[in-house]
Structure 1
Amino acid sequence: MNRRAFAHRMSIAAVGALTLSVLGGSGFAAALDDPYGDEEVAVSVDIAEVEGPGALSMTVDGTTAALAETPGTPTTRLFSGSLPTVTVTDTRAPEDIPEGAFWYVLGSITDFSGDAAQPDIISADSFGWAPVLTEGDPGSVSAGDEVEPGEGFVDPEILSVAYDSAEIAPEGSWSANAGLTLKTGADVAPGKYTAQLTLSLFE
């Protein structure tokens, strides 16, 4: 058999195998039933405890928050939404934390810019939030204070340690989210606006 004939036969065999696996549904399923019995394989894994100094870290369950209009007044318009959950995790041993250290999470926001050259909405005068602790001992970590629109949204806390970090480190994890509110005048220019809210963990 020459190489061309051999290659041709192999290509036919390959296509045939493909056709059988796609079209031969009942035959393929029957082939999966082993008439001679079954054998099981136990799969295991040993996961070692993490060694080292651990770390203080923060995660946010999402990268966007959309605000939708809610009832306002004849002179104001209100838009509300929810911040994705913010979680702070501390895996450090108490002896690895500097004495007197404490951590906190701040929020800062840019002004709202329109997509069609509308005048910016000044966040410090129009934006607010209401943080809520959703996971963790409220005796050791607390949510930040509510900031009403117009009170001045200038780096407020969403989460903070009530005591020093070393005292609460064994608890491990705390979470919070916040209701978001934007308040504008009734004459605000229509259109889509966006702002960048930054959450920062400090110790």
Structure 2
Amino acid sequence: MRMTTRILAASVLGLALAGAGLAGPALADDDPATGGVDVSVNIQPTTTPGQLSMTVADNNGVSLQENGSDAAARQFTGTLPTVTVTDTRTPEEIPAGEYWAVVGQASQFVAADDPAKTIGPEYLGWKPHLISDSSTGAVAAGEPVSSVVSDGTGAPEVGLKGQELLVSSADSTEEIGTSQVNADLALRTPTDVAAGEYHSTITLSLFNQS
């Protein structure tokens, strides 16, 4: 059946060619009609969704230096590198009632020569400072906290264990922009603290919540 179909098809083709030969060539028009189609496209600018982000200024760490020791405590101070929070979102991209906060948590200080020698994070306090704020709202520096060895300022004596460094004090839709903050650090220990080189890490986290 398949071969028969091919022979019939060839015969039909032969007749078609013969018919074309008898009719002679078609003559082209001397002045053919022409037409054009306008093609347009409207390419909109590429848009990237805004975001809320945090960066910490380049640094080599903070080396605390003895400063302000007295009969009640030994004190070592330094300055936290500048922390920047930038919000490039539009109001439509921010859920109603959302706010954010940068929170700091210090790990235990551990002596380089003897891991058994430690100083807890409750002995490290800070005093945040708002350096600049180009946001549209009222971003605020966190409240100062003191070491459990009081510094006499009246700040809560809780140490650096999940304390706020920078917060949006209203709905985030009102605080779009850039804010920068740093903090005075103060490690206050008992006077009989063991000598040695100690190391800790301050972890900064940006929380975004409703």
2: distance between equivalents of 1:83 and 1:199? 11
- Note the C-alpha offset of 1:137: 5.8
2: distance between equivalents of 1:102 and 1:75? 40
The 4+ residue runs of structure 1 with deviation greater than 2 A are none
**Kindly tell me: are residues 50 and 121 of structure 1, through their superposed partners in 2, closer, same or farther at Cα, counting changes over 3 Å?**
farther
Greater percentage in helix: 1
- Note the C-alpha offset of 1:136: 0.6
> What RMSD in Å do the two structures reach over aligned CA positions?
1.7
Partner of 2:195: 190
Within the candidate set 138, 147, 151, 1:140 is matched to 138
- Note the C-alpha offset of 1:65: 1.2
Q: Is 1:115 the equivalent of 2:112?
A: yes
Contact 2:121–2:161 (Cα < 8 Å) also in 1 = no
2: distance between equivalents of 1:145 and 1:81? 18
Runs (5+) with no aligned partner, structure 2:
1-44, 149-156
Contact 2:125–2:146 (Cα < 8 Å) also in 1 = yes
**Kindly tell me: are residues 50 and 104 of structure 1, through their superposed partners in 2, closer, same or farther at Cα, counting changes over 3 Å?**
farther
Q: Residues 66-121 of structure 1: CA distance to partner in whole angstroms, max 9, x if unpaired?
A: 10001311241100000000000001111011111111100001110001115200
2: distance between equivalents of 1:102 and 1:81? 30
TM-score (structure 2 length as normaliser): 0.69
Partner of 1:54: 50
- Note the C-alpha offset of 1:186: 1.5
2: distance between equivalents of 1:188 and 1:154? 20
- Secondary structure of 2:86 counterpart: strand
- Note the C-alpha offset of 1:131: 0.2
- Secondary structure of 1:85 counterpart: strand
Percent identical:
41
What is the count of residue pairs matched by the alignment? 152
* Aligned residue type for 1:52: T
Higher-Rg member (1/2): 2
**Kindly tell me: are residues 137 and 89 of structure 1, through their superposed partners in 2, closer, same or farther at Cα, counting changes over 3 Å?**
closer
* Aligned residue type for 2:74: R
- Note the C-alpha offset of 1:190: 1.0
- Note the C-alpha offset of 1:140: 1.0
Runs (5+) with no aligned partner, structure 1:
1-48
Q: Is 1:165 the equivalent of 2:196?
A: no
Q: Residues 127-167 of structure 1: CA distance to partner in whole angstroms, max 9, x if unpaired?
A: 10000100116961000000011111321100000111111
Partner of 1:28: none
Partner of 1:181: 186
